[in-house]
Amino acid sequence: MLRPFTLSLLGLLVTSTLHAQHVRFGVKAGLNASSYVGREVPNSRFRLGPTAGVLMCLPLSPHVDLQPELLYEQRGASLRYTGRFEGVDFTTINYTRTIRTRLQYASLPLLVRVHHGSWFALAGPQLSYLIAEKRTHQEQIDIVFGYDPFFPNGSSPQTERNPQDYHRTELGYVLGVGYELSPYWRVEGRYTAGATKVRQPSQQMYDTVYGPERLEHARNSSLQFQVSYLLSSL
């Protein structure tokens, strides 16, 4: 998967560079609201994180540019499981389990930008590499009836850094629209999504007795707001 993508990127860059007359470079930063989508994803909520990077704008025609970028993106999700089960001696227990993930990616979008006047739209594939991950579990146990020594009331947060059950590479896509405030400043909104899954298949039917956490079909999904500053043409 990586080799065809890399070869295609190099080919487009070389072709565009040979024909480009006004290559521009720039920097960008923004805010990323990310979550999980897919089958078996329970109550996924957005998590906010930064995104920042560099871009290159290669004109292909008066209204079409090729725009490769190199970005740092912080993604993740907040998941919540709730339920009730019976303990020993007919004890009734309510539980709430919250799982927060924080995933840090280096991403390489290869975008085609179509512009008319001050407005523009862009779309293209994106290849991402997971450089760091963090997952926090917090379980709230409430005994409604009876007493069970194995399940005391209260919560117990646990944090895992760099767990090994995430895929390192992700192939996705980007869709966006934006507006040029000036020849140097741009603002844009984007939707990015993974076409490949976030986690590897679980080896167990259930991660804990409180509820399933398989998430083998989960994919990343993000809404982004970005501000770009472009330098003068070369």
Write out the H or E segment, with its range, that includes residue 93: strand 92-116
- Give SS3 for 130: strand
How far is the C-alpha of 48 from the C-alpha of 46, rounded, in Å?
7
Q: Check: CB of residue 198 under 8 Å from CB of residue 218.
A: yes
Task: Walk along the chain (234 residues) and give the pLDDT tens digit of each residue.
Answer: 556 555 555 555 555 454 545 899 999 999 999 999 887 777 778 899 999 999 999 999 999 999 999 999 999 888 877 665 565 555 666 667 778 889 999 999 999 999 999 999 999 999 999 999 988 876 665 555 555 555 555 556 667 776 778 899 999 999 999 999 999 999 999 999 999 999 877 655 444 434 445 577 889 999 999 999 998 776
pTM above the 0.85 mark?
no
Q: Check: CB of residue 185 under 8 Å from CB of residue 226.
A: no
- As a residue count, the chain comes to 234
pLDDT for the residue 102: 92
Give the CA radius of gyration of the chain. Answer: 22
pLDDT for the residue 228: 97
pLDDT for the residue 93: 66
For 14, phi and psi rounded to 5 degrees? -65, -45
The DSSP code for 207 is: S
Cβ neighbours of residue 165 closer than 8 Å, sequence gap 6 or more: 199, 200, 202
Write out the H or E segment, with its range, that includes residue 195: none
Q: Domain ranges for the chain, please list them.
A: 19-208
Q: Check: CB of residue 73 under 8 Å from CB of residue 51.
A: yes
pLDDT for the residue 123: 98
